[in-house]
């Protein structure tokens, strides 16, 4: 079964379109050099992104504590993914501006989706595409939300890319880094010296 794509909030695509047009006019992004003014750049694989704090991971919390913080889409030109667009969201409201990213982490996220799409495991049940971000310990993972969630890491301590992790296995792998960071930081997240 194909991975399901959630319906993005109203205004998401228009916000991305404005960002692509602005970035094309004022930057040296790959798609700007290729098409000018964002011509031919289309959003694909729209999905919500969720964020968790290091304190939650260190305390043994799972993804039930993750909070939706943005909507993302891969920006495709022809058959190639050229960038990722992201619009922050809070309380169901989208921000007015979007960020555009490109580079190795975007490429790795695309590879993670391709890996998942080609898997027999994913073909056997329904999953919704999501993304998990734990910034304090540099975790980025494709999150396949279903009856039993699966994760494909893009980046993170103790994690292998292009490999499925159950929720329990993912958090078992990253909890030591979260616990160690908590030992090194004060209540406000600042390093203790």
- Rounded to whole angstroms, what are the CA distances from 177 to 54, 95, 138, 173? 9, 32, 10, 8
Q: Tell me, what's the pLDDT at 11? A: 92
Q: Tell me, what's the pLDDT at 58? A: 93
Q: Note whether residue 3 is domain-resident.
A: no
Domain that holds residue 156: 12-184
Report phi then psi at 69, rounded to 5.
-125, -15
DSSP assignments along 30-57, one per residue: HHHHHHSTTTTEEEEEEEEEEE--HHHH
Q: Note whether residue 189 is domain-resident.
A: no
pTM: 0.89
Query: Residues 58, 185: contact at Cβ < 8 Å?
Result: no
Q: Note whether residue 2 is domain-resident.
A: no
Q: For the chain, what is the domain count?
A: 1
Q: Note whether residue 119 is domain-resident.
A: yes
Count other Cβ atoms within 10 Å, centred on residue 9: 16
Q: Note whether residue 56 is domain-resident.
A: yes
In terms of C-beta density within 10 A (0-12 exposed, 13-18 middle, 19 or more buried), how is residue 131 classed? buried
Q: Note whether residue 1 is domain-resident.
A: no
Q: Note whether residue 125 is domain-resident.
A: yes
Q: Tell me, what's the pLDDT at 191? A: 47
Q: What string of pLDDT tens digits covers the 193 residues of the chain?
A: 679 998 999 999 999 999 888 877 776 676 665 555 556 888 999 999 999 999 999 999 999 999 999 999 999 988 889 899 999 998 888 998 999 999 999 999 999 999 999 999 898 899 999 999 999 999 999 999 999 999 999 999 999 999 999 999 999 999 999 999 988 875 555 444 3
Q: Tell me, what's the pLDDT at 116? A: 95
Burial readout 62-94 (b: 16 or more C-beta within 10 A, e: otherwise): ebeebeebbbbbbbbbeeebbbbbbbbbeeeeb
**Residue bearing tokens 């004022």:** 26
Q: Note whether residue 78 is domain-resident.
A: yes
């Amino acid at each position: 079964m194909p991975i399901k794509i959630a319906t993005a909030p109203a205004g998401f695509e228009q916000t991305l379109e404005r960002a692509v047009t602005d970035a094309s006019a004022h930057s040296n992004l790959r798609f700007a050099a290729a098409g000018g003014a964002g011509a031919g750049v289309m959003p694909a694989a729209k999905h919500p992104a969720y964020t968790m704090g290091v304190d939650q991971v260190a305390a043994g919390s799972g993804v039930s504590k993750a909070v939706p913080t943005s909507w993302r889409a891969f920006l495709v030109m022809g058959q190639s993914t050229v960038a990722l667009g992201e619009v922050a969201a809070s309380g169901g409201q989208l921000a007015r501006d979007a960020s555009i990213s490109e580079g190795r982490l975007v490429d790795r996220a695309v590879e993670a989706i391709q890996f998942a799409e080609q898997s027999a495991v994913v073909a056997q049940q329904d999953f919704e595409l999501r993304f998990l971000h734990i910034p304090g310990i540099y975790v980025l993972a494709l999150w396949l939300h279903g009856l039993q969630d699966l994760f494909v890491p893009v980046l993170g301590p103790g994690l292998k890319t292009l490999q499925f992790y159950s929720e329990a296995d993912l958090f078992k792998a990253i909890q030591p880094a979260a616990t160690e960071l908590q030992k090194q930081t004060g209540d406000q997240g600042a390093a203790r010296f």
